[in-house]
Amino acid sequence: MKRFSSLFPLVALLLFAFGNSSFSQEKKDYSVACVAFYNIENLFDTIDTPDVNDFEFTPEGPNKWNSKKYWDKIANISKVIAQIGTEHTPHGPAIIGLSEIENRSVLEDLVEAESLKSRNYQIVHFDGPDRRGVDVALFYQPSYFTVTNSKSYRLTIPDRDNFYTRDQLLVSGEFKGEPMHIIVNHWPSRSGGESKSRPLRNAAAALSRHIIDSIQSVDPNAKIIHMGDLNDNPDNESVYEILRSKPNSSKLGEGDLVNSFYDMYKKGIGTLAYRDTWSLFDIISVSQPLVEKDFSTYRYYRSFVFNKPFLQQQSGRFKGYPFRMLAGGQYLGGYSDHFPTYILIVKEK
C-alpha cells in the first residue's frame, strides 16, 4: 500500500480507506501539505481609526474592547491556526487565507503569537475600502511558498457609488517550485436578506471569475485555489453558476473549478449555524489541473471542516455551534462564529 511519509499512521490508514482510487498497492512516499481558510471574526485592535466604523471595538464602545480581550483573541486564534491540519502534517497550514482582520498590525501580532512564531508565517495584505475596515489576507510559510506577485481587486457595483466591501486578493507564486495562484475572498454579507443581497454576491462571483479567466487565458493548465467566506452555499447561484465551482462528480466544462466541499454540504456539514440551520460558506475550490490523478506534481487530495470540540459551544441552546469570542455584546472568550476549512495537496516524492 502507498503511504504518506508525513502522515501519522492512524490518519494515513483512514486516508487510504477513503482515498483516491488511483493509489495502488505499490509502496510510495508522498509529501503532504495543508492549505486552509479561516474567517476569524472581528480581529480588531483597540484604536478608534478615523473614517472607519470600528467604534464598537474600542474600550469606550459597546463591546468594551480592551487590551486584555484583544490579546485573548490573538492567543485563541493563533492556537486554532496552529492546530489546523496537524493530524496530517506537523507543519500545519503551509498557506492560510484569513478574513475579518482590521489591518496589518493585527496580522503582525498574530504571526508573532507564541503558538505560531516558529512557523515563520509571512503576510500578504492590502488595505481595502470596507466601511468597518475589515480585509482579507494571506499567511504563508516561505519553506513551502514563494510569492512572485500579489494584487488586490476592488468590487464595484454599477449605480452603487456608495457601496464598499472587501477587496479580493490574488497571490501568485511557487509552491515548492510549482506555479500556483491563491485567491482569497470575503463576499458581501446577507444583510437585509438573502434574496435582496444576492446581486452583490453574484457580482463578487463575477469578479472572481474574471480573475480566474485572466489567469487561465495565459495558462489553461494553471493551478488555482479559490478560497473564502462566500456568504453563499455551494449550490447557490453565485458559487455554482457564476463562479462555476462544481462537484467533481458533475460534468465539468473547460475552466470550471472543482468545489471540494459540495458533497460535504449536501450531507449537512457546515461551517456556521443560524437559527438551527447549518451553512457552508467557507469554501475552497480548485482548478481542474489540481485534481488530475497523476501525483508527480501537487494535486488536491481531501477536504475538511476543522470543527474540533474545543471550537464548539459545549452547552445550552447553541450547543455545537462555533464558540465565539463575543455574542450580543457579551464576552464569551471563544474563537469565531465560523469553523476553519482546509484541503490537503499531495505529491509523490
Listing DSSP states for 26-46 in one string gives: S---EEEEEEEEEEEEEE--S
Distance CA 140, CA 120 (A): 8
pLDDT of residue 26: 55
| 181 strand-pairing partners | 172, 224
More confident residue, 26 or 146: 146
The pLDDT of 279-289, averaged and rounded, is 98
- pLDDT bin (cut points 50, 70, 90) of residue 134 is very high
Please, what is the average pLDDT of the chain? 92
- The answer on pLDDT for 258 being more than 90 is yes
304 CB neighbour count, 10 Å cutoff: 22
Contacts of 205 (CB under 8 A, 6+ apart): 187, 230, 238, 239, 242, 243
The pLDDT of 30-38, averaged and rounded, is 97
87 CB neighbour count, 10 Å cutoff: 17
Distance CA 175, CA 94 (A): 9
- pLDDT bin (cut points 50, 70, 90) of residue 4 is very low
234 DSSP 8-state letter? T
| Grid cell at residue 89 | 502534517
The pLDDT of 40-44, averaged and rounded, is 98
The pLDDT of 170-192, averaged and rounded, is 98
| Grid cell at residue 72 | 485573548
Closest CA to 72 of 259, 325, 294, 317: 325
- The answer on pLDDT for 223 being more than 60 is yes
Domains and CATH numbers, the chain: 9-348 (3.60.10.10)
Distance CA 30, CA 41 (A): 35
pLDDT of residue 259: 97
